[in-house]
Structure 1
């Protein structure tokens, strides 16, 4: 028999807050090993003594059989003195120890209630029966309660709740699934619900009665307050829209289980898997045709025990007006499960804020901000440490595409393919703002902040940045930012005292984010289609073909330019953008559509506005030129009568995609020409054909589909020109326009048919929420190149 040996093992990755120490404890005991395990700042360390084969098996188990919420990046093993694992001491969990100087610190995301806890929640014989804060080592709050690392109860907001004897026994029992589950609690010692002087079960039922009676309730969730109402009640939904100042943007809907989701929408296998995942994002699904809602339970908890079979079919038309897809998600906490069980109907669950302000986290702030929105507040006494909104995803070609990376996913780190030793921060863009901290090939993308448009959002960014730098231990010495000097994120970046500042062009960041996510280190062909971003020539870009690497790029193609009449006003008014194309599109040899063809469009607009816009365009006053794919989609949507004014970013493009649906149509005419060495898509023939089709009585959905086909074919032609000039055959699709599944599918199919490798963002949003990650990848590669050149 081999002599016992002693080893010190360090495990890096997502290994705190995920039941990792209990897993190591069970595994080591099963293998007959002695020693100890502890959290050491951002990782897990263990010293183990036993037979060499048993120690080898332990490392194999650590790598291959870690708990479901864990992610092991690497394992370091080295010999250790025998005295560090005393013989006869068994295997124990030791107190955590801070070692900030050498730490790699990872903050675990929140995880939805697991099945074991859910069974307890609805088991009358269990001591946690109907306790909203039920959790264990496999589920519950993490990022939203952590105050510091290493991850232990005293460094979470649960430190305010001393454990009772029963919870303490579970916490200390290696055989219990709540062994070292830091947020564990029960009705005797944990957080309690509150509602206008009521607590516990009475508070819950008061909220239930309010929703059942058609009211709106502000509920304190994991990462912020949420606003809830009956999703089958048209009046309640309309009132929520009025109070929240959200005219038409679709609401997310929470349903109790997968069967309920399938009654409301079509759910494929990939969508099923992500709906029931621990991350519990909002998933955009194709809605079924609505049926008459079933009878609603009476107020006061009469729905208790009825279960999912009682769930009403069909949503109020105001939930997702005018679009075929609806955002559904399953409960994330015990509180959500209880509310859905009581009400037995789908619930609108949307961010607790007004319009585009940050989601509210503080109790006093919630009552100030949401007083005019909510009819009551269902709150509790556990503080929210970090702001995390709900994540949003969709699926395409059997994969998940991230639209908003927030609760459940952030701030778990992502790989950066070219690592640099210099710690850095990437400040992101202006819309859908995130920031990214990176060091040594790992990028921590911060929470979704929203649009940096006012003081509240800017303050939320400052708070999130301060928290994540402290928790990760990353003290940036380099800063990356957008080229646009007017972005608040750029101004913040330029004000930082750093050794290095890197300006990263907006569309380079878009395609670099896709490349970095897929581990590319060499050159690639980037297609960046979005609304607007400042180009390196001082003009506005948005329909770009780039030959790029992580450190740089050159422009190979673009969309034709058109004026934005009134500047920012054209973004809010697609009709203005359409007039910009009709009266001032870049002259590329094709005549503009004749007045008799444009008159039906201009006649339905305000005559004075048409005159003003035409004057602005002809005189070149306040009409910045833009080569933007997003603005072209806006113009097409307006010409087809789908959307002349928007209340949220991307509304016109969503309407155009929705109109096209899954119809197949031959492309409208399109044209690619050469201008100053670049391939340029001239959309004038495409837009003229749209107007001609309307004049000929062609159905709008068919024209919308044909428009998508034209853009996809023109894109392919631009790519073919770049390939002929020696461009790489790996293509990265980035930018917010590729949230459009129809465009993504058409472009991807045409490029793959030509033998190209086509990549797009999956774990990182292709919209501006992924810009900071792309900036970080570019800055890291530039830092690495500088270090190599020294």
Structure 2
């Protein structure tokens, strides 16, 4: 029988996911000798035996993977026969060059969940139960290779029973680095605010927390990647109290429910949404509310959707089960589970920081002594007609790399955007997009950004040779890039949006790009945001844009949509707009307008903008929906919610497309909206008709570009396309007009995906000049 010896290098997510015992089992099945080990490049296997057995092993290696494993590349080299019959697992090796990938944090698996509630199991009700198929990974690892000594579990010495499991290749917990039990592992503790008026509870820390939640308390709860703030979602007073303390006046809160039955009591859920909810990644999924609601109105005021997630840690399961003892038995347990922070700050993840920052928000803290090394917020998705769409890509997905369609010539760091920041590091064909950093508007978030970059550089052995940044000179991410002693590439914001989707779909030829968002620094110094581009990965041409409007007060106009409404009315009617018979004009104080008019006429703090997001703001203010916002995009979101209540399709309002000035002129739209308001047309009808107008305007602009350049592929990018009504109807009309449509699937369409686009452009430009 022909004998051979192979050396197999496996790269991908193959450490900390039960890959070595999987290989051990396969080798024993096919009676092969040799060994398997982890090193800094991946998993190394040497195998010796019959050629047929080796080939069968290789086939099984690719088709029978452990649940969390992911193979990116397998290299096989033939070696000299050594006469080995036994197969063993050997200790990890550290090497200078690192190619190891790290698994994201994943939800508790079915086997561990069964043991958690099995009274005879030694880990019964242990809140840190895990195995090689589940549990913390990214948030506890400090270095590679992924061994216990390189995680925040290094301070917990395993007891004899845990050590036996850890050392047994046939055990589910073989080399599960966070493995522990109540005898040797982390534990929970509860700290209540001294001046609390809550009735003292008895039982375990988790049971007492449940009792306090049932009394209306706001509790801080430590999770995988940081702290949550939790309260009873059916207690309106508790939810309102959380809003006041967290300084979050209007943005919806995420909810956690125990199971799919509870989720279906609250929302309409299709099969694709159910798969997302129950996946081992456990994101928050935005779902359509049922008409009859049992959650407090303050959970998601003015929204037709709820953000739901299922429990993903054993502590979550134990807490929800304990809550069932104290909450009304005929109702499901529904907890608000929102990020543990004050609005605009990053999520708290260090215990001392949480005790300080969350003390004024929460009545108590349920924490544990397993350190979180890297903060990581919950991921957020929704399902559209085009499939799942990321609003935030973080826990459960990061740090899985995105495979690029071609290798980069040199390691690259892309610094991302100012809002919803992520950064991206790339080498060869792998792009590592960071967890959600947040809005770079304070020192704490900037430190998180800097620390995250250093951690990713260390984990994935990437020392960037070039840095990429947005053109805006005042963005903190741009300033960081300018501090580095590296060659720099500046990338226009909206070009990056389009490139982000292009590289996902391996598009290299010119496309029509519709870039629509709130703001992005233009090459002419204006604030762009309603752009029709002709673009490839190296460069772009601005074919059309919304006609420039003044942004009265700059940043103030973003927070106060009435300013944009007044600016549009002034452009359409002059100062006479104050005599219009619409509530907006009649309620606008004359002195306020006089000051604003002087700013516009003198161009004082009134930068020009072509932003589609600001146009949505203006229409929302005209309709009396929202004159001031508490968070970015609030007015536009509420305008969409209102439009959704109008079930009948609407004809578009008039507009003009000027091929001479390359402008999309919407003053005729504003005038038509005013006429409808004067004639007392229902606001929902106007909102729906406005959406139809924008859709037709964008399609007609694409037709003009196609007529000129014979381009049929349209790429959508920018935060405006989080508007599901706009997105789905635009895709439908573009398809009806024989366009091919592309948009982000793997990263957010908003600024959270911008770093990938920056990377794509830089890589293409470097390739072109090499």
TM-score by length of 1: 0.93
User: What's the counterpart of residue 664 of structure 1?
Assistant: 648
Q: For residue 471 of structure 1, give the secondary structure of its aligned residue in structure 2.
A: helix
User: What's the counterpart of residue 542 of structure 2?
Assistant: 555
2:393 aligned with 1:409: no
User: What's the counterpart of residue 100 of structure 1?
Assistant: 96
Choose from 690, 695, 699 the match for 2:682. Answer: 699
Separation (CA, whole Å) in 2 of partners of 1:749 and 1:398: 10
| 1:614 Cα deviation from its structure 2 partner | 2.1
| 1:30 Cα deviation from its structure 2 partner | 1.1
Question: Is the CA contact 1:270–1:398 (under 8 Å) kept in the aligned structure 2?
Answer: no
| 1:372 Cα deviation from its structure 2 partner | 0.3
Q: Deviations over 1:495-514 (max 9, x none)?
A: 1111x211010000001001
User: What's the counterpart of residue 538 of structure 1?
Assistant: 525
> Cα 1:373–1:741, aligned 2, differ >3 Å: closer, same or farther?
same
User: What's the counterpart of residue 512 of structure 2?
Assistant: 525
> Cα 1:518–1:240, aligned 2, differ >3 Å: closer, same or farther?
same
Separation (CA, whole Å) in 2 of partners of 1:486 and 1:227: 33
User: What's the counterpart of residue 34 of structure 2?
Assistant: 35
Q: For residue 196 of structure 1, give the secondary structure of its aligned residue in structure 2.
A: strand
| 1:608 Cα deviation from its structure 2 partner | 2.9
| 1:574 Cα deviation from its structure 2 partner | 0.6
| 1:690 Cα deviation from its structure 2 partner | 1.7
2:442 aligned with 1:454: yes
> 5+ unaligned residues in a row in structure 1: which ranges?
292-313
Question: Is the CA contact 1:579–1:614 (under 8 Å) kept in the aligned structure 2?
Answer: no
| 1:290 Cα deviation from its structure 2 partner | 3.0
Choose from 197, 205, 208 the match for 1:206. Answer: 208
User: What's the counterpart of residue 514 of structure 1?
Assistant: 501
Separation (CA, whole Å) in 2 of partners of 1:56 and 1:687: 69
User: What's the counterpart of residue 251 of structure 2?
Assistant: 249
| 1:224 Cα deviation from its structure 2 partner | 0.7
Separation (CA, whole Å) in 2 of partners of 1:382 and 1:747: 48
Q: For residue 725 of structure 1, give the secondary structure of its aligned residue in structure 2.
A: helix
User: What's the counterpart of residue 125 of structure 1?
Assistant: 120
Q: For residue 343 of structure 2, give the secondary structure of its aligned residue in structure 1.
A: coil
Counterparts in 2 of 1:469-484, with a 5 A limit? 469-484=457-472
Counterparts in 2 of 1:344-363, with a 5 A limit? 344=324, 345-363=333-351
| 1:709 Cα deviation from its structure 2 partner | 0.5
| 1:675 Cα deviation from its structure 2 partner | 5.0
User: What's the counterpart of residue 649 of structure 1?
Assistant: 632
**Greater mean alpha carbon deviation, residues 517-526 or residues 738-747:** 517-526
Separation (CA, whole Å) in 2 of partners of 1:784 and 1:70: 32
User: What's the counterpart of residue 301 of structure 1?
Assistant: none
User: What's the counterpart of residue 270 of structure 1?
Assistant: 272
Question: Is the CA contact 2:652–2:696 (under 8 Å) kept in the aligned structure 1?
Answer: no
Separation (CA, whole Å) in 2 of partners of 1:81 and 1:676: 73
Q: Deviations over 1:256-282 (max 9, x none)?
A: 111111110010111000000111010
Question: Is the CA contact 1:42–1:149 (under 8 Å) kept in the aligned structure 2?
Answer: no
| 1:594 Cα deviation from its structure 2 partner | 5.1
Q: For residue 211 of structure 1, give the secondary structure of its aligned residue in structure 2.
A: helix
2:277 aligned with 1:290: no
User: What's the counterpart of residue 139 of structure 1?
Assistant: 134
Question: Is the CA contact 2:579–2:585 (under 8 Å) kept in the aligned structure 1?
Answer: no
Separation (CA, whole Å) in 2 of partners of 1:232 and 1:276: 23
> Cα 1:194–1:212, aligned 2, differ >3 Å: closer, same or farther?
same
User: What's the counterpart of residue 59 of structure 1?
Assistant: 58
Count of paired positions = 754
| 1:591 Cα deviation from its structure 2 partner | 8.6
Separation (CA, whole Å) in 2 of partners of 1:625 and 1:98: 55
| 1:200 Cα deviation from its structure 2 partner | 12
User: What's the counterpart of residue 303 of structure 1?
Assistant: none
Separation (CA, whole Å) in 2 of partners of 1:27 and 1:592: 80
Choose from 445, 454, 462 the match for 1:466. Answer: 454
Q: Deviations over 1:759-786 (max 9, x none)?
A: 1111100101111111011111112222
| 1:397 Cα deviation from its structure 2 partner | 1.5
User: What's the counterpart of residue 329 of structure 2?
Assistant: none
Q: For residue 158 of structure 1, give the secondary structure of its aligned residue in structure 2.
A: coil
User: What's the counterpart of residue 482 of structure 2?
Assistant: 494
User: What's the counterpart of residue 192 of structure 1?
Assistant: 187
Question: Is the CA contact 2:258–2:310 (under 8 Å) kept in the aligned structure 1?
Answer: yes
Separation (CA, whole Å) in 1 of partners of 2:606 and 2:406: 40
Choose from 570, 586, 601 the match for 2:557. Answer: 570
User: What's the counterpart of residue 111 of structure 2?
Assistant: 116
Counterparts in 2 of 1:637-786, with a 5 A limit? 637-661=620-644, 663-674=647-658, 676=660, 678=662, 680-786=663-769
> 5+ unaligned residues in a row in structure 2: which ranges?
193-199, 325-332
Question: Is the CA contact 2:559–2:629 (under 8 Å) kept in the aligned structure 1?
Answer: yes
Counterparts in 2 of 1:386-397, with a 5 A limit? 386-397=374-385
> Cα 1:725–1:165, aligned 2, differ >3 Å: closer, same or farther?
same
User: What's the counterpart of residue 80 of structure 1?
Assistant: 79
**Greater mean alpha carbon deviation, residues 179-188 or residues 201-210:** 201-210
Choose from 416, 434, 437 the match for 2:422. Answer: 434
Question: Is the CA contact 1:425–1:435 (under 8 Å) kept in the aligned structure 2?
Answer: yes
Q: For residue 709 of structure 2, give the secondary structure of its aligned residue in structure 1.
A: coil
Separation (CA, whole Å) in 2 of partners of 1:40 and 1:612: 67
Question: Is the CA contact 1:4–1:52 (under 8 Å) kept in the aligned structure 2?
Answer: yes
User: What's the counterpart of residue 154 of structure 1?
Assistant: 149
Question: Is the CA contact 1:602–1:610 (under 8 Å) kept in the aligned structure 2?
Answer: no
Question: Is the CA contact 1:16–1:42 (under 8 Å) kept in the aligned structure 2?
Answer: no
Question: Is the CA contact 2:423–2:434 (under 8 Å) kept in the aligned structure 1?
Answer: yes
Question: Is the CA contact 2:580–2:586 (under 8 Å) kept in the aligned structure 1?
Answer: no
Q: Deviations over 1:414-463 (max 9, x none)?
A: 12234223101001110001100011121101111110001111111111
> Cα 1:255–1:698, aligned 2, differ >3 Å: closer, same or farther?
same
User: What's the counterpart of residue 297 of structure 2?
Assistant: 317
Question: Is the CA contact 2:190–2:205 (under 8 Å) kept in the aligned structure 1?
Answer: yes
Separation (CA, whole Å) in 1 of partners of 2:445 and 2:55: 50
| 1:226 Cα deviation from its structure 2 partner | 0.9
| 1:52 Cα deviation from its structure 2 partner | 1.3
Separation (CA, whole Å) in 1 of partners of 2:283 and 2:123: 26
Q: For residue 308 of structure 2, give the secondary structure of its aligned residue in structure 1.
A: strand
Q: Deviations over 1:664-694 (max 9, x none)?
A: 332332323225452x221112122222212
Q: Deviations over 1:190-213 (max 9, x none)?
A: 100011399996221221121111
Question: Is the CA contact 1:418–1:784 (under 8 Å) kept in the aligned structure 2?
Answer: no
| 1:610 Cα deviation from its structure 2 partner | 2.3
Q: For residue 530 of structure 1, give the secondary structure of its aligned residue in structure 2.
A: strand
